Amino acid sequence: MLRKLDKPGKTLGVTQSTCNTCRRIVATKIVTDGLCVYFQKFCPVHGNSQNLVHKDLSVYLETQHYVKPAWIPREFSGKSEKPCPQGCGFCKRHEQHLCLPIIEITSKCNLTCPICIADAGRKWEMSVEEFRIVIDGLIRAEKQVDVLNISGGEPLIHSRVLEIVDEALSRPEIVRVSLSTNGLALLQHSHLVHELYNRNVVVSLQFDGFDDNVYQALRGRKLLKQKMRILDLLAKTGISTSLTVTAASRINIAQLPKIVDYFFSQPHVVSMMIQPLSFAGRASKLTDQIERLSVADIIKLLDGTDNGRINASDFAPLPCSHPLCFSLAYYLVLDNGDTVSLNRLVDASTMLDSLANRTIFGLDSEEYDRLKDMVYEMWSGPSGSVPDSDTVMKTIRNILDDISSLNFDAQRAFTAAEKYIKSIFIHSFQDVETFDLSRARRCCQAYPLPDGRLMPVCVYNVLYRGASGSLAMKRGGSLLKTSEKGNK
Protein backbone atom coordinates (compact mmCIF):
# COMPACT_ATOMS: atom_id res chain seq x y z
CA MET A 1 0.00 0.00 0.00
CA LEU A 2 1.38 3.42 -0.94
CA ARG A 3 1.98 5.74 2.03
CA LYS A 4 3.25 9.31 1.77
CA LEU A 5 6.25 10.64 3.70
CA ASP A 6 5.13 14.14 4.67
CA LYS A 7 8.60 15.70 5.05
CA PRO A 8 12.19 14.87 4.09
CA GLY A 9 13.28 11.85 6.09
CA LYS A 10 16.52 10.72 7.69
CA THR A 11 18.44 8.27 5.52
CA LEU A 12 19.02 4.88 7.14
CA GLY A 13 20.81 3.28 4.22
CA VAL A 14 20.67 2.46 0.54
CA THR A 15 19.68 -0.66 -1.36
CA GLN A 16 18.19 -1.65 -4.69
CA SER A 17 14.49 -2.29 -5.16
CA THR A 18 12.06 -2.52 -8.07
CA CYS A 19 10.14 0.16 -9.93
CA ASN A 20 6.46 -0.16 -9.05
CA THR A 21 5.55 0.20 -12.73
CA CYS A 22 8.10 -1.75 -14.77
CA ARG A 23 9.87 -3.88 -12.11
CA ARG A 24 13.22 -2.50 -13.25
CA ILE A 25 15.97 -2.81 -10.60
CA VAL A 26 16.41 0.76 -9.30
CA ALA A 27 18.51 2.67 -6.79
CA THR A 28 16.64 3.05 -3.51
CA LYS A 29 17.11 5.05 -0.31
CA ILE A 30 15.84 3.67 3.00
CA VAL A 31 14.47 6.62 4.96
CA THR A 32 12.46 7.28 8.11
CA ASP A 33 10.26 10.02 9.49
CA GLY A 34 11.12 8.87 13.01
CA LEU A 35 8.16 6.51 13.19
CA CYS A 36 7.99 4.44 10.00
CA VAL A 37 10.46 3.23 7.38
CA TYR A 38 10.06 3.96 3.67
CA PHE A 39 11.70 3.18 0.35
CA GLN A 40 12.37 6.15 -1.91
CA LYS A 41 13.01 4.82 -5.43
CA PHE A 42 14.10 6.41 -8.67
CA CYS A 43 13.40 4.80 -12.04
CA PRO A 44 14.94 6.53 -15.10
CA VAL A 45 11.76 5.78 -17.04
CA HIS A 46 8.96 6.25 -14.48
CA GLY A 47 10.57 8.69 -12.05
CA ASN A 48 10.31 8.78 -8.27
CA SER A 49 8.11 6.54 -6.15
CA GLN A 50 7.79 5.88 -2.46
CA ASN A 51 6.56 2.95 -0.40
CA LEU A 52 5.99 2.22 3.26
CA VAL A 53 8.03 -0.86 4.18
CA HIS A 54 7.79 -0.96 7.99
CA LYS A 55 5.48 0.78 10.46
CA ASP A 56 7.83 0.67 13.50
CA LEU A 57 11.30 2.20 13.21
CA SER A 58 12.53 0.80 16.55
CA VAL A 59 11.57 -2.76 15.62
CA TYR A 60 13.11 -2.34 12.16
CA LEU A 61 16.43 -1.26 13.69
CA GLU A 62 16.36 -3.90 16.44
CA THR A 63 16.00 -6.77 13.98
CA GLN A 64 19.29 -5.84 12.30
CA HIS A 65 21.17 -7.17 15.35
CA TYR A 66 20.11 -10.76 14.66
CA VAL A 67 22.23 -11.43 11.58
CA LYS A 68 24.44 -14.50 12.06
CA PRO A 69 27.44 -15.65 9.99
CA ALA A 70 26.14 -17.69 7.08
CA TRP A 71 26.93 -21.01 5.48
CA ILE A 72 27.34 -21.00 1.73
CA PRO A 73 26.23 -23.69 -0.74
CA ARG A 74 28.72 -26.34 -1.81
CA GLU A 75 28.04 -25.45 -5.45
CA PHE A 76 27.00 -22.24 -7.22
CA SER A 77 24.84 -22.45 -10.35
CA GLY A 78 24.30 -18.73 -10.90
CA LYS A 79 26.37 -16.43 -13.09
CA SER A 80 28.40 -14.02 -10.97
CA GLU A 81 29.61 -12.06 -14.01
CA LYS A 82 26.08 -10.67 -14.41
CA PRO A 83 24.79 -7.86 -12.17
CA CYS A 84 22.71 -9.02 -9.22
CA PRO A 85 20.07 -10.44 -9.53
CA GLN A 86 20.38 -11.20 -13.25
CA GLY A 87 22.74 -14.10 -12.60
CA CYS A 88 20.70 -15.47 -9.70
CA GLY A 89 20.59 -19.10 -8.93
CA PHE A 90 22.61 -18.84 -6.39
CA CYS A 91 25.67 -16.93 -7.58
CA LYS A 92 28.79 -16.29 -5.49
CA ARG A 93 27.34 -13.00 -4.22
CA HIS A 94 24.60 -14.88 -2.39
CA GLU A 95 25.12 -14.69 1.37
CA GLN A 96 23.34 -17.81 2.63
CA HIS A 97 22.81 -21.44 1.80
CA LEU A 98 19.40 -23.04 1.26
CA CYS A 99 17.38 -24.00 4.35
CA LEU A 100 13.97 -24.65 2.80
CA PRO A 101 13.69 -25.65 -0.87
CA ILE A 102 10.23 -25.45 -2.46
CA ILE A 103 9.62 -27.49 -5.59
CA GLU A 104 6.51 -26.54 -7.57
CA ILE A 105 5.49 -29.76 -9.33
CA THR A 106 2.45 -28.38 -11.14
CA SER A 107 0.69 -25.14 -12.02
CA LYS A 108 -2.70 -26.90 -12.10
CA CYS A 109 -5.06 -26.02 -9.26
CA ASN A 110 -8.62 -26.73 -8.15
CA LEU A 111 -9.09 -23.19 -6.77
CA THR A 112 -8.72 -19.73 -8.27
CA CYS A 113 -7.58 -17.74 -5.25
CA PRO A 114 -7.66 -13.93 -5.68
CA ILE A 115 -4.41 -13.70 -3.69
CA CYS A 116 -2.39 -16.48 -5.37
CA ILE A 117 1.30 -15.56 -5.70
CA ALA A 118 1.82 -18.26 -8.32
CA ASP A 119 -1.20 -17.23 -10.43
CA ALA A 120 -1.87 -20.97 -10.61
CA GLY A 121 -4.43 -22.67 -12.83
CA ARG A 122 -2.58 -23.67 -15.98
CA LYS A 123 -2.10 -27.27 -17.12
CA TRP A 124 1.64 -27.78 -16.76
CA GLU A 125 3.03 -30.45 -14.45
CA MET A 126 6.57 -31.61 -13.79
CA SER A 127 7.51 -35.14 -14.84
CA VAL A 128 9.04 -37.56 -12.35
CA GLU A 129 12.27 -37.45 -14.36
CA GLU A 130 12.36 -33.64 -14.20
CA PHE A 131 11.77 -33.85 -10.45
CA ARG A 132 14.66 -36.30 -10.17
CA ILE A 133 16.94 -33.87 -12.01
CA VAL A 134 15.88 -31.04 -9.70
CA ILE A 135 16.65 -33.16 -6.63
CA ASP A 136 20.05 -34.12 -8.04
CA GLY A 137 20.94 -30.44 -8.44
CA LEU A 138 19.66 -29.61 -4.97
CA ILE A 139 21.76 -32.30 -3.32
CA ARG A 140 24.87 -31.16 -5.20
CA ALA A 141 24.43 -27.74 -3.59
CA GLU A 142 23.42 -28.90 -0.09
CA LYS A 143 24.91 -31.68 2.01
CA GLN A 144 21.67 -32.16 3.95
CA VAL A 145 18.14 -30.88 3.31
CA ASP A 146 16.25 -30.63 6.60
CA VAL A 147 12.83 -30.14 4.99
CA LEU A 148 11.86 -30.34 1.33
CA ASN A 149 8.53 -28.74 0.48
CA ILE A 150 6.50 -30.01 -2.48
CA SER A 151 4.12 -27.35 -3.74
CA GLY A 152 2.15 -26.11 -6.76
CA GLY A 153 -0.47 -25.14 -7.93
CA GLU A 154 -2.16 -27.92 -6.04
CA PRO A 155 0.34 -30.81 -5.81
CA LEU A 156 -2.25 -33.43 -4.84
CA ILE A 157 -3.88 -33.20 -8.28
CA HIS A 158 -0.58 -34.02 -9.99
CA SER A 159 -1.10 -37.29 -11.87
CA ARG A 160 1.99 -38.92 -10.29
CA VAL A 161 2.27 -37.12 -6.97
CA LEU A 162 3.02 -40.23 -4.89
CA GLU A 163 5.84 -41.24 -7.23
CA ILE A 164 7.32 -37.77 -6.79
CA VAL A 165 7.01 -38.03 -3.01
CA ASP A 166 8.67 -41.45 -3.10
CA GLU A 167 11.54 -40.07 -5.17
CA ALA A 168 12.15 -37.40 -2.54
CA LEU A 169 11.91 -39.91 0.30
CA SER A 170 14.41 -42.21 -1.42
CA ARG A 171 17.18 -39.65 -0.93
CA PRO A 172 18.98 -40.08 2.41
CA GLU A 173 20.13 -36.44 2.23
CA ILE A 174 16.50 -35.28 2.68
CA VAL A 175 15.43 -35.46 6.33
CA ARG A 176 11.74 -34.63 5.97
CA VAL A 177 9.22 -33.99 3.20
CA SER A 178 6.27 -31.62 3.53
CA LEU A 179 3.49 -31.08 1.02
CA SER A 180 1.55 -27.81 0.69
CA THR A 181 -2.12 -28.29 -0.13
CA ASN A 182 -5.52 -26.67 0.12
CA GLY A 183 -6.72 -30.14 1.17
CA LEU A 184 -9.69 -30.47 -1.17
CA ALA A 185 -8.20 -33.47 -2.97
CA LEU A 186 -8.03 -35.32 0.36
CA LEU A 187 -11.83 -35.22 0.51
CA GLN A 188 -12.18 -36.54 -3.03
CA HIS A 189 -9.48 -39.21 -2.64
CA SER A 190 -9.36 -40.10 1.05
CA HIS A 191 -6.72 -42.79 0.47
CA LEU A 192 -4.20 -40.00 -0.16
CA VAL A 193 -4.05 -38.99 3.49
CA HIS A 194 -3.21 -42.58 4.47
CA GLU A 195 -0.59 -42.77 1.72
CA LEU A 196 1.02 -39.60 3.03
CA TYR A 197 0.76 -40.78 6.64
CA ASN A 198 2.47 -44.07 5.79
CA ARG A 199 5.28 -42.09 4.16
CA ASN A 200 5.68 -39.79 7.20
CA VAL A 201 4.97 -36.68 5.11
CA VAL A 202 3.99 -33.43 6.83
CA VAL A 203 0.75 -32.02 5.40
CA SER A 204 1.04 -28.24 5.20
CA LEU A 205 -2.62 -27.23 5.04
CA GLN A 206 -3.79 -23.89 3.72
CA PHE A 207 -6.07 -22.70 6.54
CA ASP A 208 -7.19 -19.10 6.92
CA GLY A 209 -9.79 -19.23 9.69
CA PHE A 210 -13.19 -20.39 10.88
CA ASP A 211 -15.38 -18.04 8.83
CA ASP A 212 -16.78 -18.56 5.33
CA ASN A 213 -16.44 -14.86 4.57
CA VAL A 214 -12.68 -15.23 4.98
CA TYR A 215 -12.51 -17.96 2.36
CA GLN A 216 -14.78 -16.05 0.00
CA ALA A 217 -12.41 -13.08 0.18
CA LEU A 218 -9.08 -14.92 0.07
CA ARG A 219 -9.90 -18.11 -1.87
CA GLY A 220 -12.77 -17.01 -4.09
CA ARG A 221 -15.41 -19.33 -2.63
CA LYS A 222 -16.88 -20.47 0.68
CA LEU A 223 -14.84 -23.39 2.00
CA LEU A 224 -15.41 -23.60 5.75
CA LYS A 225 -17.37 -26.88 5.67
CA GLN A 226 -14.71 -28.53 3.53
CA LYS A 227 -11.90 -27.17 5.69
CA MET A 228 -13.51 -28.53 8.87
CA ARG A 229 -13.89 -31.95 7.24
CA ILE A 230 -10.24 -31.83 6.20
CA LEU A 231 -9.14 -30.92 9.73
CA ASP A 232 -11.19 -33.83 11.07
CA LEU A 233 -9.66 -36.23 8.55
CA LEU A 234 -6.11 -35.16 9.40
CA ALA A 235 -6.82 -35.42 13.14
CA LYS A 236 -8.34 -38.90 12.86
CA THR A 237 -5.37 -40.08 10.80
CA GLY A 238 -2.91 -38.48 13.21
CA ILE A 239 -0.71 -37.26 10.36
CA SER A 240 1.82 -34.55 11.20
CA THR A 241 0.20 -31.30 10.12
CA SER A 242 1.29 -27.70 9.69
CA LEU A 243 -1.25 -24.90 9.32
CA THR A 244 -0.40 -22.24 6.73
CA VAL A 245 -2.31 -19.03 7.37
CA THR A 246 -2.37 -16.04 5.03
CA ALA A 247 -3.00 -13.03 7.29
CA ALA A 248 -4.87 -10.16 5.64
CA SER A 249 -5.77 -6.93 7.41
CA ARG A 250 -9.50 -6.52 8.13
CA ILE A 251 -10.22 -9.94 6.59
CA ASN A 252 -8.98 -12.62 8.97
CA ILE A 253 -6.62 -11.16 11.57
CA ALA A 254 -9.45 -11.41 14.13
CA GLN A 255 -9.36 -15.17 13.47
CA LEU A 256 -5.77 -15.58 14.68
CA PRO A 257 -6.58 -16.24 18.38
CA LYS A 258 -9.00 -19.04 17.46
CA ILE A 259 -6.50 -20.56 15.02
CA VAL A 260 -3.79 -20.42 17.69
CA ASP A 261 -6.10 -22.12 20.19
CA TYR A 262 -6.76 -24.93 17.70
CA PHE A 263 -3.04 -25.22 16.98
CA PHE A 264 -2.15 -25.78 20.63
CA SER A 265 -5.09 -28.12 21.26
CA GLN A 266 -4.17 -30.64 18.54
CA PRO A 267 -1.19 -32.95 19.19
CA HIS A 268 -0.79 -33.80 15.50
CA VAL A 269 -0.51 -30.12 14.48
CA VAL A 270 3.21 -29.59 14.93
CA SER A 271 3.69 -26.13 13.43
CA MET A 272 1.97 -23.07 12.09
CA MET A 273 3.19 -20.71 9.37
CA ILE A 274 1.62 -17.25 9.30
CA GLN A 275 2.26 -15.30 6.11
CA PRO A 276 1.23 -11.64 5.90
CA LEU A 277 -0.50 -11.12 2.57
CA SER A 278 2.06 -10.36 -0.14
CA PHE A 279 0.90 -8.12 -2.97
CA ALA A 280 2.38 -10.31 -5.70
CA GLY A 281 0.75 -12.40 -8.39
CA ARG A 282 -3.02 -11.91 -8.41
CA ALA A 283 -2.84 -9.96 -5.14
CA SER A 284 -0.89 -7.17 -6.85
CA LYS A 285 -4.29 -5.66 -7.71
CA LEU A 286 -5.20 -5.32 -4.02
CA THR A 287 -2.58 -2.84 -2.79
CA ASP A 288 -5.10 -0.01 -2.46
CA GLN A 289 -7.73 -2.21 -0.76
CA ILE A 290 -5.85 -4.04 2.00
CA GLU A 291 -3.37 -2.57 4.47
CA ARG A 292 0.08 -4.13 4.45
CA LEU A 293 1.06 -6.23 7.49
CA SER A 294 4.63 -6.90 8.61
CA VAL A 295 6.11 -9.66 10.75
CA ALA A 296 6.12 -7.22 13.68
CA ASP A 297 2.40 -6.53 13.17
CA ILE A 298 1.62 -10.25 13.41
CA ILE A 299 3.66 -10.61 16.60
CA LYS A 300 1.71 -7.73 18.17
CA LEU A 301 -1.56 -9.40 17.17
CA LEU A 302 -0.45 -12.70 18.75
CA ASP A 303 0.85 -11.15 21.97
CA GLY A 304 -1.30 -12.29 24.90
CA THR A 305 -3.45 -14.70 22.87
CA ASP A 306 -4.57 -18.09 24.14
CA ASN A 307 -4.90 -16.78 27.72
CA GLY A 308 -1.39 -15.38 27.68
CA ARG A 309 0.28 -18.53 26.38
CA ILE A 310 1.92 -16.49 23.60
CA ASN A 311 4.06 -13.46 24.40
CA ALA A 312 5.76 -11.14 21.95
CA SER A 313 9.06 -12.01 23.65
CA ASP A 314 8.65 -15.64 22.52
CA PHE A 315 9.59 -14.61 18.97
CA ALA A 316 12.99 -13.94 17.49
CA PRO A 317 14.12 -13.40 13.89
CA LEU A 318 15.28 -16.54 12.14
CA PRO A 319 19.01 -15.81 11.98
CA CYS A 320 19.75 -17.79 8.82
CA SER A 321 17.53 -15.50 6.72
CA HIS A 322 17.40 -11.73 6.56
CA PRO A 323 15.92 -10.67 9.94
CA LEU A 324 12.97 -8.88 8.31
CA CYS A 325 11.87 -12.03 6.48
CA PHE A 326 11.24 -14.60 9.22
CA SER A 327 10.44 -14.73 12.90
CA LEU A 328 9.83 -17.86 14.92
CA ALA A 329 8.84 -19.17 18.32
CA TYR A 330 9.28 -22.68 19.71
CA TYR A 331 7.12 -24.17 22.45
CA LEU A 332 8.00 -27.17 24.56
CA VAL A 333 5.05 -29.55 25.06
CA LEU A 334 5.26 -30.74 28.66
CA ASP A 335 4.32 -34.18 29.89
CA ASN A 336 1.24 -32.70 31.57
CA GLY A 337 0.01 -31.22 28.26
CA ASP A 338 0.97 -27.61 28.99
CA THR A 339 3.39 -25.69 26.80
CA VAL A 340 6.17 -23.22 27.57
CA SER A 341 8.20 -21.05 25.22
CA LEU A 342 11.81 -22.12 24.75
CA ASN A 343 12.72 -18.43 24.79
CA ARG A 344 11.57 -18.34 28.42
CA LEU A 345 13.71 -21.35 29.31
CA VAL A 346 17.08 -20.42 27.86
CA ASP A 347 18.88 -17.31 26.73
CA ALA A 348 17.60 -16.38 23.28
CA SER A 349 21.12 -16.12 21.85
CA THR A 350 21.80 -19.73 22.84
CA MET A 351 18.77 -20.94 20.91
CA LEU A 352 19.54 -18.70 17.94
CA ASP A 353 23.11 -20.01 17.74
CA SER A 354 21.62 -23.48 17.33
CA LEU A 355 19.44 -22.18 14.51
CA ALA A 356 22.02 -19.98 12.82
CA ASN A 357 21.80 -21.70 9.46
CA ARG A 358 18.64 -23.81 9.56
CA THR A 359 15.03 -23.63 10.67
CA ILE A 360 15.17 -26.73 12.90
CA PHE A 361 17.68 -27.48 15.62
CA GLY A 362 18.99 -30.83 16.81
CA LEU A 363 19.42 -32.54 13.42
CA ASP A 364 23.10 -33.36 13.80
CA SER A 365 25.25 -34.60 16.67
CA GLU A 366 26.91 -31.22 17.26
CA GLU A 367 23.55 -29.52 17.73
CA TYR A 368 22.41 -32.40 19.93
CA ASP A 369 25.31 -31.48 22.21
CA ARG A 370 24.11 -27.86 22.14
CA LEU A 371 20.65 -29.06 23.15
CA LYS A 372 22.19 -30.83 26.13
CA ASP A 373 24.04 -27.63 27.05
CA MET A 374 20.71 -25.80 26.98
CA VAL A 375 19.36 -28.35 29.46
CA TYR A 376 22.32 -27.82 31.78
CA GLU A 377 21.81 -24.06 31.55
CA MET A 378 18.21 -24.47 32.70
CA TRP A 379 19.20 -26.86 35.46
CA SER A 380 21.93 -24.59 36.83
CA GLY A 381 19.99 -21.33 36.45
CA PRO A 382 18.52 -19.32 39.32
CA SER A 383 15.78 -21.03 41.28
CA GLY A 384 12.40 -20.02 39.94
CA SER A 385 13.71 -18.77 36.60
CA VAL A 386 12.05 -21.68 34.81
CA PRO A 387 8.27 -22.04 35.24
CA ASP A 388 7.22 -25.46 36.57
CA SER A 389 10.89 -26.46 36.45
CA ASP A 390 10.37 -30.07 37.58
CA THR A 391 7.92 -30.81 34.77
CA VAL A 392 10.11 -28.99 32.25
CA MET A 393 13.24 -30.90 33.23
CA LYS A 394 11.41 -34.23 33.14
CA THR A 395 10.11 -33.49 29.64
CA ILE A 396 13.52 -32.47 28.32
CA ARG A 397 15.15 -35.55 29.80
CA ASN A 398 12.56 -37.60 27.92
CA ILE A 399 13.45 -35.80 24.68
CA LEU A 400 17.16 -36.47 25.13
CA ASP A 401 16.51 -40.10 26.02
CA ASP A 402 14.29 -40.60 22.95
CA ILE A 403 16.79 -39.02 20.58
CA SER A 404 19.89 -40.66 22.03
CA SER A 405 18.24 -44.09 21.75
CA LEU A 406 18.08 -43.58 17.97
CA ASN A 407 21.90 -43.47 17.60
CA PHE A 408 21.32 -40.03 16.13
CA ASP A 409 19.52 -40.76 12.92
CA ALA A 410 18.37 -37.31 11.71
CA GLN A 411 15.09 -38.48 10.18
CA ARG A 412 14.03 -40.40 13.27
CA ALA A 413 15.24 -37.59 15.54
CA PHE A 414 13.00 -35.14 13.66
CA THR A 415 9.96 -37.37 14.15
CA ALA A 416 10.77 -37.94 17.82
CA ALA A 417 11.18 -34.22 18.49
CA GLU A 418 7.79 -33.43 16.92
CA LYS A 419 6.09 -35.01 19.93
CA TYR A 420 7.63 -32.39 22.19
CA ILE A 421 8.06 -29.20 20.13
CA LYS A 422 5.50 -26.93 18.50
CA SER A 423 6.67 -24.06 16.33
CA ILE A 424 5.13 -20.86 15.00
CA PHE A 425 6.80 -19.24 12.01
CA ILE A 426 5.97 -15.84 10.56
CA HIS A 427 7.23 -15.29 7.02
CA SER A 428 6.92 -12.07 5.07
CA PHE A 429 7.23 -12.46 1.28
CA GLN A 430 8.43 -9.42 -0.65
CA ASP A 431 6.57 -7.86 -3.57
CA VAL A 432 7.25 -5.09 -6.09
CA GLU A 433 6.77 -2.32 -3.51
CA THR A 434 8.94 -3.86 -0.77
CA PHE A 435 11.55 -5.80 -2.78
CA ASP A 436 14.98 -5.30 -1.21
CA LEU A 437 17.96 -6.81 -2.98
CA SER A 438 19.95 -7.02 0.26
CA ARG A 439 17.21 -9.24 1.70
CA ALA A 440 17.14 -11.36 -1.45
CA ARG A 441 20.89 -11.98 -1.22
CA ARG A 442 20.40 -13.51 2.22
CA CYS A 443 17.36 -15.60 1.27
CA CYS A 444 17.46 -19.17 2.59
CA GLN A 445 14.23 -20.24 0.87
CA ALA A 446 14.39 -20.98 -2.85
CA TYR A 447 12.86 -22.77 -5.80
CA PRO A 448 15.26 -25.43 -7.16
CA LEU A 449 15.00 -25.51 -10.96
CA PRO A 450 15.72 -28.23 -13.54
CA ASP A 451 18.81 -26.38 -14.83
CA GLY A 452 20.41 -26.57 -11.36
CA ARG A 453 19.70 -23.02 -10.26
CA LEU A 454 18.35 -22.23 -6.79
CA MET A 455 16.10 -19.20 -7.28
CA PRO A 456 15.34 -17.14 -4.11
CA VAL A 457 11.58 -17.13 -3.71
CA CYS A 458 11.08 -13.38 -3.78
CA VAL A 459 13.41 -12.87 -6.75
CA TYR A 460 11.37 -15.51 -8.55
CA ASN A 461 7.97 -14.17 -7.50
CA VAL A 462 8.72 -10.50 -8.21
CA LEU A 463 10.98 -10.70 -11.26
CA TYR A 464 10.36 -13.98 -13.05
CA ARG A 465 6.79 -15.17 -12.75
CA GLY A 466 5.17 -12.48 -14.85
CA ALA A 467 2.08 -13.62 -16.71
CA SER A 468 3.35 -17.16 -17.11
CA GLY A 469 3.18 -18.50 -13.57
CA SER A 470 5.44 -21.47 -12.90
CA LEU A 471 6.07 -21.90 -16.63
CA ALA A 472 8.13 -18.70 -16.76
CA MET A 473 11.10 -20.48 -15.22
CA LYS A 474 10.64 -23.62 -17.30
CA ARG A 475 10.95 -21.53 -20.46
CA GLY A 476 13.67 -19.32 -19.01
CA GLY A 477 11.36 -16.32 -19.04
CA SER A 478 12.06 -13.20 -17.01
CA LEU A 479 10.73 -9.71 -16.44
CA LEU A 480 14.14 -8.67 -15.13
CA LYS A 481 15.47 -5.28 -16.16
CA THR A 482 18.05 -2.99 -14.64
CA SER A 483 18.63 0.74 -14.55
CA GLU A 484 22.41 0.27 -14.58
CA LYS A 485 24.07 1.77 -17.65
CA GLY A 486 25.01 -0.81 -20.26
CA ASN A 487 22.65 -3.54 -19.00
CA LYS A 488 19.50 -4.58 -20.83
pLDDT tens digits along 5-28: 556 579 999 999 999 999 999 999
426 domain-assigned: no
- Does a structural domain hold residue 189? no
In single-letter form, the type of residue at position 208 comes to: D
pTM given for the model = 0.86
218 located within any domain:
no
Would residue 34 count as lying in a domain?
Answer: yes
**pLDDT tens per residue, range 251-294:** 999 999 999 999 999 999 999 999 999 999 999 889 888 999 99
Instruction: Tally the domains of the chain.
Output: 1
Residue span of the structural domain in which 9 resides: 1-54
Which pLDDT band holds residue 329 (cuts at 50, 70, 90)? very high
Q: 79-83, 294-298, 458-462: lowest mean pLDDT where?
A: 79-83
Instruction: Kindly report whether the peptide bond that precedes residue 85 is cis, defined as omega within 30 degrees of 0.
Output: yes
Asked if residues 454 and 89 have their Cβ atoms less than 8 Å apart, the reply is yes
Please provide the distance, in angstroms rounded to a whole number, between the alpha carbons at the two ends of the chain. Answer: 29
Q: Residue 371: which pLDDT band, with cuts at 50, 70 and 90?
A: low
**Contact at 8 Å (CB) between 335 and 391?**
yes
Is residue 38 a part of any domain in this protein? yes
3-state SS assignment for residue 177: strand
Q: Is residue 40 part of a domain?
A: yes
**DSSP label of 477:** -
Q: Is the confidence at residue 359, as pLDDT, over 80?
A: no
Q: Does the residue 11 lie in any domain?
A: yes
Q: What is the pLDDT of residue 443?
A: 85
CA distance 165 to 170: 9
Using one digit for the tens of pLDDT, what is the confidence trace for 241-258?
999 999 999 999 999 999
Is 21 within the bounds of a domain? yes
